[in-house]
Amino acid sequence: MSNERLVKLFDDLVDLLKDFIARHDLDYSEYNAAVTWLNELGQSGEVPLFTDVFLESTVNTVNFGHRPGTETAIQGPFYIEGAPLLEPPYELPCRDDQPGDVLFFSGTVTSADGRPIAGALLDLWQADGNGVYSNIDPSVPPFNMRGRFATDEQGGFEVRSVVPVSYEIPKAGPTGRLLEALGRHAHRPAHLHVTVTADGYEALTTQIYFEGDPWLDSDVAGAVKSSLVTRLVRYEDPGDYRERGLDGRYCTATFHFVLPPLDTT
Ligand code: MBD
Ligand code: FE
């Protein structure tokens, strides 16, 4: 960012806040409460959580709102680089007693004109069956439910994982306390995060949601798009799950990713 741009953005932001203070006749107790809360937000390490929940969807729309291909969604605060590179048959790293039902997530990666993209890399991360993320919650092993894997010659993939559950933002921290004070719930619908990359295409960061999730219409992060909602198909019949080599029920879900051509402008 150039110094000129920085000066312009900062001046505008301060003007905006000064105008806000004047319009609302902010008194000292309100100003001091805001300063105290912001300080706690910083000390708690929740700045990325707070900004991603309240602001990232706008950043995402401003940057990618008009892009062809699969709609984008926010990255959120919990992406970690360097997830394990998986070998087929793909399975996200999980614990022996991994909470959650087995999920087989499959699909394709194609170009906007429908050509399959072989060797596209999917970098997938998700909460586990208890709604917690590895590398964030110390009770979960590092890189649990995080992995990178490539599409096959037909642009297809299938990865074994667990069905994520809706995620609730920590309630004890400054972000959770604010939501509570506002009378808002802290839920995100269950979701898979994924970044898809392939040579010659724009990278795609998005999220996949599931039909019927009670939080689809009121995501605290405002990141749901109907084109990103897919169906979770449940298999509970022993005949079905034994065929898959499982000893309990499982689910499948499918999504077809479309990568936009490289933006050369
Ligand atoms: C999440 O899991 C998430 O995806 C976002 C965007 C914000 C908080 C928690
Ligand atoms: Fe998430």
pLDDT tens for the chain, 265 residues long, are 789 999 999 999 999 999 999 999 999 999 999 999 999 999 999 999 999 999 999 999 999 999 999 999 999 999 999 999 999 999 999 998 888 899 999 999 999 999 999 999 999 999 988 888 999 888 889 999 999 999 999 999 999 999 999 889 988 999 999 999 999 999 999 999 999 999 999 999 999 999 999 999 999 999 999 999 999 999 999 998 999 999 999 999 999 999 999 988 7
**Is the beta carbon of 164 within 6 A of some atom in ligand 1?**
no
Q: What is the pLDDT of residue 137?
A: 85
Going from the C-alpha of 188 to that of each of 99, 131, 235, 239, the distances in angstroms are 19, 10, 25, 34
Q: Other C-beta atoms within 10 Å of 106: how many? A: 16
**Is the beta carbon of 53 within 6 A of some atom in ligand 1?**
yes
How remote is the CA of residue 168 from the centroid of ligand 2, in Å?
A: 10
Cis peptide before 77 (omega within 30 of 0): no
**Ligand 2 ion: Cβ-proximal residues, 5 Å cutoff:** 76
CA–CA gap between residue 209 and residue 149 (Å, rounded)? 20
List CB contacts of 218: < 8 A, sequence separation 6 or more. Answer: 185, 187
Residue type, 243: E
- Residue nearest atom 6 in ligand 1 by C-alpha distance: 76
**Looking at the chain, which runs of residues are DSSP E strands?**
90-91, 102-111, 121-126, 146-150, 156-162, 167-168, 187-188, 192-197, 204-210, 229-230, 233-235, 250-259
How remote is the CA of residue 99 from the centroid of ligand 2, in Å?
A: 17
CA–CA gap between residue 253 and residue 105 (Å, rounded)? 5
Tokens of 13: 């932001």
- Residue nearest atom 4 in ligand 1 by C-alpha distance: 76
Angle, vertex CA 204, rays to CA 202 and CA 209, nearest 5: 160
Going from the C-alpha of 265 to that of each of 86, 198, 199, the distances in angstroms are 34, 19, 17
**Is the beta carbon of 100 within 6 A of some atom in ligand 1?**
no
Say whether pTM exceeds 0.75.
yes
Helix H or strand E encompassing 15: helix 3-23
Q: What is the pLDDT of residue 76?
A: 98
- Residue nearest atom 1 in ligand 1 by C-alpha distance: 76
Please give the distance of CA 152 from its chain centroid, rounded to a whole number.
Answer: 24
**Is the beta carbon of 255 within 6 A of some atom in ligand 1?**
no
Q: What are phi and psi of 123, to 5 degrees?
A: -115, 105
Q: What is the pLDDT of residue 98?
A: 83
Tell me the ligand closest to 175's alpha carbon.
1
How remote is the CA of residue 21 from the centroid of ligand 2, in Å?
A: 33
CA–CA gap between residue 119 and residue 112 (Å, rounded)? 16
Q: What is the pLDDT of residue 199?
A: 97
The sign one gets for the Cα dihedral 191, 245, 99, 149 is negative
Tokens of 128: 């586990």
Atom nearest to 76 CA in ligand 1: 6
Q: What is the pLDDT of residue 23?
A: 98
Q: What is the DSSP letter of 50?
A: H
